[in-house]
């Protein structure tokens, strides 16, 4: 489809967009309506306040009885998110759970899936992985007595195919800085051929790309829900553990919320794990954060990831076209989601855009990340942003 750099063309695309009504379900910041930082923190769904206030009201009204007598009993509140989470990442319901935050979950999962031994102790990550992932794997390697275990690879697929000493690969399926998306299924096959465990950090993939975790078959995955999934600052994360490990006698840090639900309140001395990903729960989750996430997950269910990705591809292609016309250097490869990493060759342009009502994200020394999130961004947003960039001088 031919694209035009005009408001009229952009508005015509929006007029035929079946997902555009979802834009009204979000609150835009006071700084302006051109919000392109959903890769860092998603916007607040309108119903998040309602859902959180409902739980505050039930707490005030019921006290401790709210665990079982509230409108959505707290003891099982996280289960309200199970089906939508499974749909989002292409998993079976018992393969997923919402709990903790991303780095905490990665550590809990590495307890189970990083089992180094002499001659097979390496821990593989992609070059330029998110710093917290790098810190986590390095600390796990040291904890297990293999301080030299971490390998960083520009081509983790080739590294997996070449080496026999990798115990675990932990790959960000979409790199947080470049926006590069990796071939998850190929990575899984390569790891399995080498008898290595493999997991994925989906912080920039969940809610951005269609995922088929059950079919692809990684051992585990973890993600945050506050970026594309709009759970709010510091929102709870998600965990996937493939069903082949549902009954496995893996080492695991245990806590009472992972204990058999029917016997949880018997307070017995021995741990009896729930079947599936819920067994990795340690503590009961914060209900107010679950309530905020629930408001967003309902919108993802309304839209569906296939439709979101179709719109996201069109929005991102339009953004790329208009940026290139203004001389921007695009760093993100063609295999990607909705985020574009670019160089805008003008000092102070990010601050200037913010002053004019457009929010993007900068990474020193000269990288700018821009995300047209298909749940709430429009073609008109993209055209207006690029017009501002053009008015700010040569990119």
Contacts of 269 (CB under 8 A, 6+ apart): none
- CA dist 147 and 139 (Å) reads 8
pLDDT at 363 over 90: no
Residue 388 has what pLDDT? 95
| 187-230 pLDDT tens trace | 999 999 999 999 999 999 999 999 999 999 999 999 999 999 99
Question: Which whole-number Å values give the CA distances from 216 to 143, 198, 251, 307, in the listed order?
Answer: 30, 11, 24, 21
Question: Helices 102-113 and 131-143 meet at what angle, rounded to 10?
Answer: 30
Q: DSSP states of 284-317 as a string? A: PPPHHHHHHHHHHHHHHHHH-HHHHHHHHHHHHH
pLDDT at 328 over 80: yes
Share of the chain above pLDDT 90, in %: 94
Question: Which whole-number Å values give the CA distances from 194 to 109, 175, 282, in the listed order?
Answer: 20, 24, 31
Share of the chain above pLDDT 70, in %: 99
- Identify the bridge partners of residue 197 per DSSP, sorted by sequence position: 168
Neighbouring C-beta atoms of residue 182, cutoff 10 Å: 19
Q: Token match 């750099």: residue?
A: 5
Q: Contact, 358 vs 34, CB < 8 A?
A: yes
pLDDT at 394 over 70: no
Residue 364 has what pLDDT? 82
Q: What is the mean pLDDT of residues 335-362?
A: 92
- Identify the bridge partners of residue 342 per DSSP, sorted by sequence position: 330, 368
Residue 345 has what pLDDT? 79
pLDDT at 3 over 90: no
| 122-162 pLDDT tens trace | 999 999 999 999 999 999 999 999 999 999 999 999 999 99
Residue 175 has what pLDDT? 96
Residue 395 has what pLDDT? 44
Residue 346 has what pLDDT? 78
Record the tokens describing residue 243, joined without a space. Answer: 């069903």
Q: What is the mean pLDDT of residues 229-242?
A: 98
Contacts of 141 (CB under 8 A, 6+ apart): 116, 121, 123, 147, 148, 149, 150
Q: Which residue has the higher pLDDT, 364 or 357?
A: 357
pLDDT at 112 over 60: yes
Neighbouring C-beta atoms of residue 341, cutoff 10 Å: 24
Q: Residue 297: exposed, middle, or buried by beta-carbon count in 10 A (0-12, 13-18, 19+)?
A: buried
Query: Which phi and psi angles does 345 have, rounded to 5°?
Result: -80, 65
Contacts of 263 (CB under 8 A, 6+ apart): 272
Q: Token match 């998603």: residue?
A: 42
| 158-188 pLDDT tens trace | 999 999 999 999 999 999 999 999 999 999 9
| 37-61 pLDDT tens trace | 999 999 999 999 999 999 999 999 9
Q: Residue 334: exposed, middle, or buried by beta-carbon count in 10 A (0-12, 13-18, 19+)?
A: exposed
pLDDT at 28 over 50: yes
**Continuous segment of H or E residues that includes residue 143:** helix 131-143
pTM equals: 0.96
Reported as a pLDDT band with limits 50, 70 and 90, residue 393 is low
- CA dist 202 and 176 (Å) reads 10
Neighbouring C-beta atoms of residue 166, cutoff 10 Å: 26
The per-residue pLDDT of the chain, averaged, comes to 96
| 249-294 pLDDT tens trace | 899 999 999 999 999 999 999 999 999 999 999 999 999 999 999 9
Residue 348 has what pLDDT? 86
- CA dist 46 and 33 (Å) reads 15
- CA dist 317 and 328 (Å) reads 14
């Amino acid at each position: 489809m031919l694209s035009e750099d005009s408001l009229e063309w952009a508005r015509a695309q929006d007029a035929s967009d079946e997902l555009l009504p979802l834009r009204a379900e979000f609150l835009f910041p006071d700084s302006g309506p051109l919000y392109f930082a959903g890769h860092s923190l998603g916007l607040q769904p309108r119903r998040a306040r309602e859902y959180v206030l409902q739980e505050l009201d039930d707490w005030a009204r019921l006290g401790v009885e709210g665990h079982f007598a509230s409108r959505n009993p707290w003891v099982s509140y996280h289960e309200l998110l199970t089906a939508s989470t499974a749909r989002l990442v292409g998993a079976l319901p018992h393969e997923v759970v919402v709990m903790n935050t991303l780095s905490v979950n990665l550590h809990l999962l590495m307890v189970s899936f990083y089992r180094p031994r002499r001659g097979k102790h390496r821990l593989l990550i992609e070059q330029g992985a998110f710093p917290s992932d790098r810190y986590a794997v390095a600390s796990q390697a040291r904890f297990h007595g293999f301080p030299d275990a971490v390998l960083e690879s520009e081509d983790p697929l080739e590294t997996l195919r070449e080496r026999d000493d990798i115990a675990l690969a932990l790959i960000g399926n979409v790199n947080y800085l470049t926006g590069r998306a990796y071939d998850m299924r190929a990575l899984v096959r390569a790891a399995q051929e080498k008898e290595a465990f493999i997991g994925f950090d989906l912080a920039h993939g969940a809610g951005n790309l269609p995922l088929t975790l059950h079919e692809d078959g990684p051992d585990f995955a973890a993600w945050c829900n506050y970026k594309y999934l709009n759970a709010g600052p510091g929102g709870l994360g998600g965990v996937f553990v493939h069903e082949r490990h549902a009954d496995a006698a893996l080492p695991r840090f245990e806590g009472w919320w992972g204990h058999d639900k029917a016997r949880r309140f018997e307070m017995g001395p021995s741990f009896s794990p729930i079947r599936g990903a819920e067994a990795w729960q340690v503590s009961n989750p914060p209900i107010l954060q679950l309530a905020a996430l629930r408001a967003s997950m309902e919108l993802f269910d309304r839209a569906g990831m296939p439709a979101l990705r179709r719109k996201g591809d069109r929005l991102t292609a339009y953004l790329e076209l208009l940026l290139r016309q203004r001389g921007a250097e695009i760093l993100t490869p063609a295999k990607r989601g909705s985020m574009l990493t670019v160089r805008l060759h003008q000092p102070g342009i990010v601050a200037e855009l913010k002053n004019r009502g457009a929010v993007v994200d900068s990474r020193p020394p000269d990288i700018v990340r821009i995300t047209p999130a298909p749940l709430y961004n429009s073609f008109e947003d993209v055209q207006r942003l690029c017009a501002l960039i053009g008015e700010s001088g040569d990119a």
